[in-house]
Amino acid sequence: MNEVTQPVRARGMMLSAVATVAALAALLALAPFASAASDPLASGTTTITLSKSMIKKLKKSGTKVIKVSPGTVKGRKVTLPVSGGSLDPTNGQGAVEHSGGIKFKHGKKSAVVKLLVLETTTSSLKAKVAGKSMKLASASGVSSARNGFGANVTVGTLKLTSKAAKQLNKKLGFTGKNKKKAPFKGGKGLGSALSETQPKTVTVLPTNNATLVTSLPTDIKLQKVLVGIETVAPTTETAPLPPTFAFPISGGTIAPDASSGIVQTTGGLKLHQVFKPGEVETTMTLSAIYVDMGAKTATVEVTVESIGISPKLNLGSLGRSSIADISLTGATIKSDPSARTVSVENASASLQAVTAETLNSVFVEPFEAITSTSAEHFVAGDPLGTFSFTAQTQ
């Protein structure tokens, strides 16, 4: 089949393809193939193992280490939940944010360390130390390893900064005569750390296609009003029956469970209605399909060009518009952390009300006016098709 499909079949394919494509795209993710990118963090833990020398100094000074919930303290280990930040899982570069913290208590005095952020890009551990934001420690011996969709970051040594040591000692009352008993000293080892992280969404590599199988009922509606379909390169038609289209994935992001993320594809489809070639015809181009898996909608860049029918139809570029609702009910979703792939099979897409109205005003009503023949109108909920894809993440 050539790139320009016959009007009857084309129409149905186009709409179905568009919605499905959008849906497909939606589940894939946003990222350049040649370079890695940071992914927003959703969960994980960081365990700081206090050095033996630090524990010895704390005990000698009579200073206790107490948890700040939801953090925990057990022996030398302080464990903090990962609450946010972003990290490039391929090299461990980024910032890991935490909830909870540590309270140092000396007699009736205490000093809380919270809002800890491990910045591997600056090799530092920052925090709010007894009410003041500062660099808590420098980090050395930083390395990372993949952990499914996420990454583990290891810090060999954390060395307390002079500013943090001074703030802690002051708040705990180690001043004046007690200064010699102060447990904290700048440049001395605080301990080591291990962060185990998982992302909210992960960057998708543009290595696969989103495949759309169009809906027969919508295809027939298009046929009846003489709308043909054209693929916009690099989109291709991979099978004539049922009409199937492949849209190259160009980027985006996707959650490991496909619950969120915005996916992009390249190419697109054209709905082409011809009454008299070169004199009376209308084309609607739907390109750069994005799908928002969180909102469960598909959007496209829309352009409408018309000659010989009505100047009102020659609208030109309409910008990005939402065209379809995406449903995962009945779809199969598979996540493989070891291969770092997310697969979606047979997700359905249906027309939104504004899309149906637009198709009617651009194609159906002109057809009825020119041919003096009534035609079936598009309505919200008309099926566009089903899509499937496997997203390879970084």
Phi (first) and psi of residue 179, to 5 degrees? -60, -35
Residue 259 token pair: 């619950």
pLDDT in tens, 224-265: 999 998 999 999 999 888 888 999 999 999 999 999 998 889
Residue 1 belongs to some domain of the structure: no
For the segment 342-357, the average pLDDT, to the nearest whole number, is 95
pLDDT band at residue 9 using 50, 70 and 90 as cut-offs = very low
| H or E element in which residue 170 lies | helix 162-171
Same-domain check for residues 132 and 167: yes
Q: How many domains does the chain have?
A: 2
Last residue of a domain, one of 199, 216, 245: 199
Same-domain check for residues 226 and 360: yes
Residue 44 belongs to some domain of the structure: yes
Angle between helices 7-27 and 216-224 (to 10 degrees): 140
CB atoms within 10 A of CB 101: 21
**Predicted pLDDT at 25:** 36
**Mean pLDDT, all residues of the chain:** 90
* CB hemisphere CA count around 3 (13 angstroms): 11
Same-domain check for residues 211 and 83: no
Distances 151 to 30, 46, 89, 120 between C-alpha atoms, Å = 19, 12, 5, 13
CB atoms within 10 A of CB 7: 19
Q: What is the pTM of this model?
A: 0.83
Residue 269 belongs to some domain of the structure: yes
Last residue of a domain, one of 129, 164, 199: 199
* CB hemisphere CA count around 383 (13 angstroms): 14
Distances 370 to 1, 136, 225, 226 between C-alpha atoms, Å = 29, 76, 11, 12
Same-domain check for residues 195 and 215: no
Same-domain check for residues 364 and 215: yes
Residue 2 belongs to some domain of the structure: no
Last residue of a domain, one of 146, 175, 199: 199
The span from the CA of 284 to the CA of 302, in Å, is: 7
Residue 304 lies in domain? 7-31+204-392
Same-domain check for residues 246 and 177: no
Residue 47 pLDDT > 80, yes or no?
yes
The span from the CA of 318 to the CA of 301, in Å, is: 7
Same-domain check for residues 222 and 283: yes
Same-domain check for residues 211 and 336: yes
Residue type, 11: R
Same-domain check for residues 107 and 213: no
pLDDT in tens, 181-192: 999 999 999 999
**How far is C-alpha 27 from the chain's CA centre?**
9
The span from the CA of 351 to the CA of 319, in Å, is: 18
Residue 107 pLDDT > 60, yes or no?
yes
pLDDT band at residue 19 using 50, 70 and 90 as cut-offs = very low
Is 389 or 53 the better-scoring residue by pLDDT?
53
pLDDT in tens, 108-142: 999 999 999 999 999 999 999 999 999 999 999 99
**Is-contact 268 237, C-beta < 8 A?**
no
Residue 132 belongs to some domain of the structure: yes
**Is-contact 271 10, C-beta < 8 A?**
yes
Residue 252 belongs to some domain of the structure: yes
The span from the CA of 330 to the CA of 315, in Å, is: 38
Same-domain check for residues 193 and 219: no
For the segment 269-293, the average pLDDT, to the nearest whole number, is 94
**Predicted pLDDT at 31:** 34
Same-domain check for residues 302 and 231: yes
